[in-house]
Amino acid sequence: MARGNSSRVTEFILLGLSDTRELQLLFFTLFLLAYAMVLLGNLLVIVTVRTDPKLSSPMFFLLCHLSFIDICYTSVTAPRVLVALLSGHKAIAFEGCMAQLFFLHFVGSSEMFLLTVMAFDRYTAICRPLHYTAIMARRVCWALVAACWLGGFIHSIVQTLLTLQLPFCGPNTIHSYFCDVLPVVQLACTDTALTEWLMASNSGLISLGCFLVLVASYTLILAKLRAHLSQGHWKVLSTCASHVMVVTLLFVPCIFTYLRPAGSLPSNKYVCVIYTTFSPMMNPLIYTLRSHEVKESMWRLWKR
């Protein structure tokens, strides 16, 4: 196969989760239910927070943005997967693949940064309560959210540019159900060792770095509360426990997927389901079930 762009690939074939028609219909049903739960659950959280003045604290402000990010994140992959499972059409244009890759990392890394900001919010509320109002003022919250989106954009544009500069002139079959940097880079008809390490360092270290910051912040919170387990502190621990569950669902699969060069381990597309679909679906359940204020607000909204 000639190298360079003389026979540039114009589309990729996404193999999906299974070639068996019965399993494809089963996966379609499961993905449709999961996507519906992501949309309904996160929209309910957004509407509840936006319509209840009692939920105006920085924690719920950030939770509202997390729900918006979850909707965007799942919408990058889920509609395309549902169409492919139902119609059997597995081809995706080169431009569409690059766009999916860009928005996947743009929104996904923005969510990681936002979860880190949420951990900082909890740390400030618990460890520096007298300065909490000043530190987490509304303008500061908006600036932090904007920084999360900016950081996600910078990360994603680097990943996308590294991919676009590669020549694709040979195989075009992607062993996954969406376009991601690692399976796409493996199809380039050139030596990609340096690019793979750069991408692993970019995505993997961001995932690991944010995860370590989160672990450190919750460790400090637990150290602060270990001698003061009153009823109010048990409530704080419950809130932090919900954050830890979200962090585990998102970061552990991402670290496993991205903190390695392409081809070092077999690609596991079923692991990707956890952080692209399952985690955004569970976020509203985790936060609403562990937040008494949100449950009360939802009940008042339902009665209205």
What is the arithmetic mean of pLDDT over 38-52?
A: 89
pLDDT band at 202 (very low <50, low <70, confident <90, very high): confident
pLDDT band at 6 (very low <50, low <70, confident <90, very high): very low
pLDDT band at 256 (very low <50, low <70, confident <90, very high): confident
d(CA 219, CA 214): 8
d(CA 51, CA 277): 27
In percent, how much of the chain has pLDDT > 70? 88
Using alpha carbons only, what angle is made at residue 100 by residues 77 and 184, rounded to the nearest 5 degrees?
Answer: 105
What is the arithmetic mean of pLDDT over 261-275?
A: 69
What is the arithmetic mean of pLDDT over 183-189?
A: 86
Using alpha carbons only, what angle is made at residue 117 by residues 131 and 39, rounded to the nearest 5 degrees?
Answer: 130
Tokens 């939920």 belong to which residue?
55
Under DSSP, is residue 11 helix (H, G, I), strand (E, B) or coil? strand
The reported pTM is: 0.87
pLDDT of 289: 66
Is the pLDDT confidence value at 167 over 60? yes
The 10s digit of each residue's pLDDT in 119-132 is 899 888 888 888 88
pLDDT band at 3 (very low <50, low <70, confident <90, very high): very low
pLDDT of 235: 61
Buried b (16+ CB within 10 A) or exposed e, 62-89: bbbbbbbbbbbbbbbbbebbeebbeeee
Map out the domains of the chain with their CATH numbers.
Answer: 11-298 (1.20.1070.10)
Indicate the average pLDDT of the chain: 83
pLDDT band at 155 (very low <50, low <70, confident <90, very high): very high
Is the pLDDT confidence value at 221 over 90? no
Is the pLDDT confidence value at 262 over 60? no
CB burial class (10 A; 0-12, 13-18, 19+) of residue 114? buried
Of the two residues 215 and 140, the one the predictor is more confident about is 140
Amino acid at 58: P
d(CA 141, CA 8): 45
pLDDT of 304: 67
pLDDT of 101: 93
pLDDT of 4: 40
Is the pLDDT confidence value at 7 over 60? no
- Is 60 within 8 Å of 294 (Cβ atoms)? yes
pLDDT band at 5 (very low <50, low <70, confident <90, very high): very low
What is the arithmetic mean of pLDDT over 75-103?
A: 91
pLDDT of 33: 94
d(CA 235, CA 237): 5
